[in-house]
Amino acid sequence: MSVGLSLLYTILREDNVDLLMKVNPEGFQPEMERPVYDFVLSYYVAHKVLPPMSIVQRRWDYIIPAEGVADFWHTEFIKRQFGRVYDVGVNRINPIVASGNIDEAKSEIIKLSTSLTELQDEGHRPKTRQEIMEGVCISITERRSACGIIGVRTGWDILTRIVRGFSPKNLYVMAARKKIGKSQSLIHMSEAAYQAGHNVLVISMEMTEEEYCTRLASLVNKLSLNLLLSGKISTPMEGQIRRRIIEEAAKENRYSFKEGFFNISPLEIEQMIMADNPQIVFIDGAYLIRPQHFTAKMAGWEKVTEIVKDLKRIAGRHNVPLVATYQLNKKEEVHLSESIAQVATAVMGIYLMPDRSNARKIKVLDNRNGPRGEVTINFDFEAADFSEVDGSDEMNSDLSLFGEFEHSSTEE
């Protein structure tokens, strides 16, 4: 029996109306499968029940019982669609590439990738209440052993406790005015994640590879950034940097970096995630991401809204936490769009401290998980010190500390 007919048979056998409504009709073969699907669907619309298998078999005597449950055949059905869409797309792209029209070929490749990603999402069925509750029980043990934190740690203990770590499928936003410390804070957080053993992907929309790696080398080796930028470091210091590179080459986890050049789309970010398989993604200057479907008439807030929703979808689709930096306006609000605060799991702001030029205040402005709070960090490029001021040992901390913080509204 064909994959499509096997899927339809198991839908009837299991009385699985939800799956019938979810399945993509375009995936059925037009000759043998689509007429059966159309009959089953029209029968259900007319009678509010699925037709008995005996009626279907009388009309199409080539249908025989198939082994396997509906989920199995639905997966096979999607796999077949995936192959068909891929083959059609490649056959359409190859002649365009051969003609030398690179821009059109790139556009067709993006369309194909989008179609394949959407097709992949079709296979995600809703979880039952029992499955959700069992997941809660599993997470209780994990949270107990980790003092309530199961996400990737931020690099600052108090901030980690407030947001409970960067958890998979969530979008976190760190915002500040220009040249206040967004990029350096992101470098610090990404390095903390890497040193904790996670695979890290960093995408910088504004900093070049040279600028970024110089700052990272300063942080990792505790060397003055000015000394590195001027090249005025001693031979022993240079040897220290090279030894560190050799030591880290033996690590199993990865730290990957990509220059954005002001021109990366959400789809290209997703493709990087699929290729590199990171456990956390950092995007510096997310406000510079190019919208997937850009039009000249789009207002600034529309672009931001579309991009932030795409980033949230990417985080959920690939089960990774995504941390992005944005700008605050003069009113100290996230620039251009309220959608950022609505979509993000937590929004953090970085602020100058009038009485301390070499320190910054990080405030959790909005947090879907409840607590708000703030942490003071050193911000000293000369000493390469971006540590928490008066931070406590997180692992020995009592989570009752949350009681000291203001709680945000649970209303969406």
**Which of the four pLDDT bands, split at 50, 70 and 90, describes residue 116?**
confident
pLDDT of the residue at 113: 79
Instruction: Determine the average pLDDT of the residues in 206-231.
Output: 90
pLDDT band at 196 (very low <50, low <70, confident <90, very high): very high
Q: Which residues of 217-233 are buried (b: 16+ CB within 10 A; e: fewer)?
A: bbbbbebbbeebeeeee
Residue 408 has pLDDT above 50, yes or no: no
Residue type at position 381: F
Task: Assign 409 a pLDDT band (cuts: 50, 70, 90).
Answer: very low
Residue 372, pLDDT score:
85
Q: What was the pLDDT predicted at 87?
A: 86
> What pLDDT does residue 66 have?
66
The pLDDT value recorded for residue 124 is 52
> From CA 20, how far away is CA 18, in angstroms rounded?
5
What is the average pLDDT across 40-48?
Answer: 89
Q: Which of 383, 403, 401 is nearest to 391 (CA)?
A: 401
Closest CA to 194 of 118, 130, 281: 281
375, β-bridge pairs: 362
Average of pLDDT values for 291-302? 67
> Residue 5 pLDDT more than 60?
yes
What's the pLDDT at 245?
Answer: 86
| Position with higher pLDDT, 303 vs 151 | 151
Q: What is the pLDDT of residue 166?
A: 94
Instruction: Tell me the mean pLDDT in the region 229-242.
Output: 85
Which whole number is the average pLDDT over 229-251?
A: 85
Q: What is the pLDDT of residues 392-401, one digit of tens each?
A: 444 333 444 4
Residue 376, strand partner residues: 361
Which residues lie closer than 8 Å to 104 by C-beta, 6 or more apart? 96
Q: How far apart are CA 41 and CA 27, in angstroms?
A: 15
Confidence of residue 30 (pLDDT cuts 50, 70, 90): confident
Confidence of residue 246 (pLDDT cuts 50, 70, 90): confident
Q: Which pLDDT band, with edges at 50, 70 and 90, does 340 fall under?
A: confident
CB contact burial 55-94 (16+ within 10 A = b; e otherwise): ebeeeeeebeebeeebeebbeebbebbbeebeeebeeebe
Provide the pLDDT for residue 141. 65
117-173 pLDDT tens trace = 766 655 455 666 776 677 677 666 666 665 667 789 999 999 998 998 999 999 999
Model confidence pLDDT, tens digit, residues 344-383: 899 999 999 988 889 999 999 888 876 789 999 999 999 9
Average pLDDT in the chain:
82
Top pLDDT among 288 and 282 is at 282
Residue range 184-195, pLDDT digits in tens = 999 999 999 999
pLDDT at 157: 92
Could you give the residue ranges of the DSSP H alpha helices within 164-299?
Answer: 182-195, 209-221, 225-230, 235-249, 266-276
* pLDDT confidence of residue 301: 67
Q: What is the pTM of this model?
A: 0.66
**pLDDT by residue (tens digit) across 305-332?**
888 888 998 998 888 999 999 887 776 6
152 vs 233, more confident: 152
Closest alpha carbon to 178 in 288, 258, 301, 340: 288
